[in-house]
Amino acid sequence: MTMKDLSTYAKNTWCPGCGNFAILNSIKAVLDALNEEGFPLEKVVLVSGIGCHAKIVDYINVNSFYAIHGRVVPVATGIKLANPDLKVIGFAGDGDAYGEGLEHLIFAAKRNISITMIIHNNRVYGLTTGQYTPTSPLGFRGRSTPKGTIELPLNPLELMLTSGATFIARGYSHGIELLKKNFKEAINHKGFSFIDVLQVCVTFFNMYEYYNKRVYELKGEDLQNYDGALRKIREWDYNSDVPIALGTFYKKEIPPFEERFLKYETKAVDRKLKIKEILEQAI
C-alpha cells in the first residue's frame, strides 16, 4: 500500500487553510509508516464523532466508524475490547471530547485502555458556525455568547493526567513533523494515549498568529514524573498569555485495561453443557 491508496473518493469539504489538513496528512503518514514497518492496516479502525473533525474518516481509506457527537470513546473502547489486536484511533473535536462526551474521556483514562484519542481542539464550534467550547478563553464572543463567555476554560491535559491517562501530549496544526511524532508515539503506546491538538479554525477562531508567538517544544523532560508533568501542564491554562509547550508531557507503562479484562477470553467452553449444569443447579 502506498500513500496514495490511503485516500478515498470523498470530496474534501474543509475550509482552505483548516488545521484539520495537518492532522489528516500526519495521520496518513503515520499509518503509512506503520504499514511499512509491518503492521497491517486492516487491523486499524478509525472512529470519529460529529463536527468538522469527523469527516476525517471519510478521507482515509481504512476501516472506520463515523459515530455520533460525544461518543467516540465508548465506541472505540467497545471495538478494542471486542478485538484487542486492533489499533483503535479516535478523533474528536473539543466540543464532543470535552463537552458532550467528557465522562467517557475521563473513564477511558481511568481504565487505561489502549486506545488513542486525538482531539481536534480549535476551541470553537465550527460546523454549528461559531459558538464557544469548553476550552474557549474567558470572554470569547461566540454566537451563543455575544457579550463574551463568563467561565474559564478547562485544561484538558490536567484533567487527563489526574484521571489516569498514561500518555499525554499536545500538538499543533502548524508544523507537521512534530504532529507525526506525537501521533506515532501515541499510537504505539500501551495504555490510554491522549493528544490535544491545537487545531486552528481559520474561519471562526484564527489563532495562528497567537500560537506562533508562544509555542515551544518540550525537550528532556522526565516523562514518568507525575508531579513534574503536572507542573508543566499547568504552565498554560488555556486562558493566560504565556508560553505554550508542545510535545509529550507524560508517559508511563502500566498494565492496560484490556489485558486484565480479557484473562479468560481464550478459554473454549461447552455452552450447552454449562446451560445444563446451571439448570440442574436450579432444581
For other proteins, the closer of residues 147 and 271 by Cβ is: 271
Beta bridge partners of 45: 88
CA atoms within 13 A on the CB side of 28: 20
Residues 240-279 that bind other proteins (CB under 8 A): 261-262, 264-265, 267-269, 271, 274-275, 277-279
Span interacting with other proteins, options 27-35, 55-63, 174-182, 193-201, rule CB under 8 A: 55-63
For other proteins, the closer of residues 102 and 230 by Cβ is: 102
End-to-end Cα separation, the chain, in angstroms:
60
Beta bridge partners of 196: 119, 170
For other proteins, the closer of residues 38 and 146 by Cβ is: 38
- The answer to whether 66 and 46 have CB atoms below 8 angstroms apart is no
Spatial distance between the Cα atoms of 132 and 170, rounded to a whole number of angstroms: 21
Q: How far is the CB of 129 from other proteins (least distance, A)?
A: 17
Q: How far is the CB of 90 from other proteins (least distance, A)?
A: 11
Spatial distance between the Cα atoms of 108 and 243, rounded to a whole number of angstroms: 29
Spatial distance between the Cα atoms of 219 and 237, rounded to a whole number of angstroms: 20
Q: Does 61 bind other proteins (CB under 8 A)?
A: yes
Residues interacting with other proteins, by CB under 8 A? 8-10, 40, 42-43, 45, 47, 50, 55, 57-58, 61-68, 71, 73-83, 85-86, 103-104, 106-107, 261-262, 264-265, 267-269, 271, 274-275, 277-283
